[in-house]
């Protein structure tokens, strides 16, 4: 008996030693090593801030009801860009799509180099009238108070549009001669589906244009958001989830509620919904692995140990991740029942009952797979399925492309305290319409957010620090200058 116990103890000690060894050896510091910081361009900061402030004052709102589009607001925004950035308008070719989406094309000298595409969008989400009085500064004021710029669009996504235009205006002012073609694509309705971006992508496809890389909005620099690292972490999206709405419909005979059948159409639908919610999609750690391969070395051993030993502890890690809706969304295709409809009167049996279930699809899963899953877990021929507003999950872009490396190096050369890692974008961006135009699509904005300011996306008190906006200009200029030069290596 003592020999058995001794053997068990030895095995446990060996196992613990293996776990600890892997925790201290699996993750390496693969961050870009800064040998020379970026030399900032000499901006007229007050003028740049004034141009950004005025852009935020223009209510370029996207409504689900397209008839509510404020044509005058978008015309004013276009005019503001024209007045603010005269060299961009003089030295690039401007093409408009769907009336208000814009493409600027700066021609390069070397036609053998694939062009690069930088993206943003001009439109913003509406401000809820019921909470408008809770804004600390008016949502379309563009006020600059105590080092902060306030206004809808400050982080989503006029920061990208204006910072890109500032960087290109400066680039042209220096009489630079680009080797590589540079394109800017600014959609006007990203928040409502991106018809402008769809038209732009179609135009590029018809021109047989393939991009070396594409950079759109997406990830940000997080501070205190990712558990573990004490340093800020820049999240560069290398993929984004897809989405599909499935409408579940059940037909019934109707009639008076005083003589109901055993199961009404609403009851049958309710049973189907319970089956859907009780059978979530399988969880996978692949995107967490991708993220922590780059920043795992900076985490405390209590977190490194399970992440470095997924061969043994993956069920424990997944269980922990699934406890939070935020982290759960990164490891599985999510299921959300969002809309229900039945009878219009309490004493009338429904002739049709329907529900809409929204799925956010993890790369690797498909819309067809979601339907197969639904059919299996519902297992009731009385429930019919129809897909609406469907978009497949994106491919996963590589991190060894010049585009990702330029993003990483530019971030680190601006601030080498920031760690950079790839991650999965949970929402949708206009770049999803450009999948056929490049295998190297990245999603990142030079904006710093913490757990509190993250809530400002589509929420109250949207704002950006002055230093962050000025940093965004420096970041885009570094990207633009190096990309346009045509060099295949990162400085």
Choose, from 157, 189, 190, 365, the residue flagged as catalytic: 190
Distances (CA, A) of 227 to 260, 316, 418, 419: 53, 16, 15, 13
Query: Strand ranges (DSSP E) for 191-323?
Result: 213-222, 233-240, 242-251
Q: Retrieve residue 275's tokens.
A: 């089956």
Pick from 156, 157, 60: which is nearest to 100 by CA?
A: 60
Is 123 tagged catalytic? yes
Q: How far apart are CA 26 and CA 24, in angstroms?
A: 6
The 10 Å Cβ neighbour count of residue 83 is: 11
User: What contacts 417, CB < 8 A, 6 or more positions away?
Assistant: 231, 232
The answer to whether residues 385 and 371 touch, using CB atoms and an 8 Å cutoff, is yes
Distances (CA, A) of 175 to 82, 161, 168, 195, 226: 19, 22, 11, 35, 42
Helix (H, G, I), strand (E, B) or coil at 64: coil
Q: Which of 123, 166, 217, 408 is catalytic?
A: 123
Angle at 20 between CA 19 and CA 25, to 5 degrees: 100
Task: Give me the count of residues in the chain.
Answer: 491
Sequence-ordered list of residues with C-beta below 8 angstroms from that of 327, at least 6 positions apart, any chain: 288, 320, 321
Cα four-point dihedral sign 220, 336, 310, 397: negative
Separation CA 219–CA 450 (nearest Å): 13
Alpha-carbon gap, residue 128 to 397, rounded angstroms = 36
Our measurement of the distance from residue 417's CA atom to the centroid of its chain's CA atoms, rounded to an integer in Å, reads 23
> Cα angle at 27 between 22 and 32, to 5 degrees?
165
3-state SS, residue 448: strand
Cα–Cα dist 208/275, whole Å = 46
Q: Which residues pair with 354 in a beta bridge?
A: 249, 341
Tell me how far apart the alpha carbons of residues 158 and 134 are, in angstroms, rounded to a whole number: 22
CA–CA distances in Å: residue 222 to residues 8, 225, 231: 44, 6, 9
Catalytic positions, written as ranges: 123, 190
């Amino acid at each position: 008996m003592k020999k058995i116990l001794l053997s068990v103890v030895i095995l446990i000690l060996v196992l613990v030693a293996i776990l600890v060894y892997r925790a201290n050896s699996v993750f390496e510091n693969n961050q870009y090593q800064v040998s020379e910081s970026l030399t900032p361009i000499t901006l007229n900061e007050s003028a740049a801030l004034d141009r950004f402030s005025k852009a935020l004052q223009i209510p370029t709102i996207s409504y689900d009801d397209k008839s509510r589009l404020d044509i005058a607001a978008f015309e004013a925004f276009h005019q503001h860009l024209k007045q603010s950035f005269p060299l961009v308008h003089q030295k690039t070719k401007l093409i408009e799509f769907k009336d208000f989406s814009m493409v600027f094309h700066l021609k390069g000298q070397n036609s053998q180099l694939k062009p690069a595409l930088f993206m943003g969008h001009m439109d913003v989400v509406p401000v809820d009238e019921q909470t408008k009085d809770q804004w600390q500064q008016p949502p379309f004021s563009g006020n600059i108070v105590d080092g902060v710029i306030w206004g809808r669009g400050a982080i989503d996504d006029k920061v990208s549009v204006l910072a890109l235009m500032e960087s290109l205006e400066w680039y042209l002012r220096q009489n630079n001669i680009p080797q590589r073609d540079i394109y800017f694509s600014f959609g006007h309705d990203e928040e409502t589906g991106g018809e402008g971006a769809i038209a732009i992508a179609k135009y590029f496809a018809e021109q047989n244009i393939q991009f070396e890389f594409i950079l759109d909005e997406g990830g940000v620099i997080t501070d205190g958001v990712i558990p573990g690292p004490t340093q800020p972490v820049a999240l560069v999206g290398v993929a984004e989830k897809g989405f599909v709405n499935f409408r579940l419909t059940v037909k019934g005979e109707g009639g008076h509620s005083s003589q109901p059948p055993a199961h009404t159409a609403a009851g049958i639908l309710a049973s189907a919904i319970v089956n859907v919610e009780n059978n979530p999609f399988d969880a996978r750690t692949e995107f967490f692995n991708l993220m922590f391969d780059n920043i795992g070395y900076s985490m405390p051993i209590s977190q490194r140990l399970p992440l470095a030993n997924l061969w043994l502890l993956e069920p424990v890690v997944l269980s922990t991740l699934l406890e939070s809706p935020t982290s759960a969304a990164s490891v599985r295709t999510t299921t959300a029942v969002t809309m229900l409809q039945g009878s219009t009167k309490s004493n009338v049996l429904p002739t049709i009952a329907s529900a809409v279930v929204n799925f956010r699809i993890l790369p690797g899963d498909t819309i067809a797979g979601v339907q197969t899953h639904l059919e299996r877990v519902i297992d009731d021929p009385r429930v019919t399925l129809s897909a609406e507003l469907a978009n497949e999950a994106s491919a996963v872009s590589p991190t060894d492309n010049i585009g990702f490396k330029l993003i990483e190096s530019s971030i680190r050369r601006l601030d080498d305290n920031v760690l950079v890692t790839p991650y999965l974008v949970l929402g949708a961006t206009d770049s999803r319409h450009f999948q056929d135009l490049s295998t190297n699509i990245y999603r990142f904005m030079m904006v710093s957010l913490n757990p509190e300011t993250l809530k400002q996306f589509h929420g109250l008190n949207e704002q950006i620090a002055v230093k962050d906006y000025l940093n965004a200009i420096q970041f885009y200029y570094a990207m633009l200058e190096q990309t346009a030069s045509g060099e295949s290596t990162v400085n």
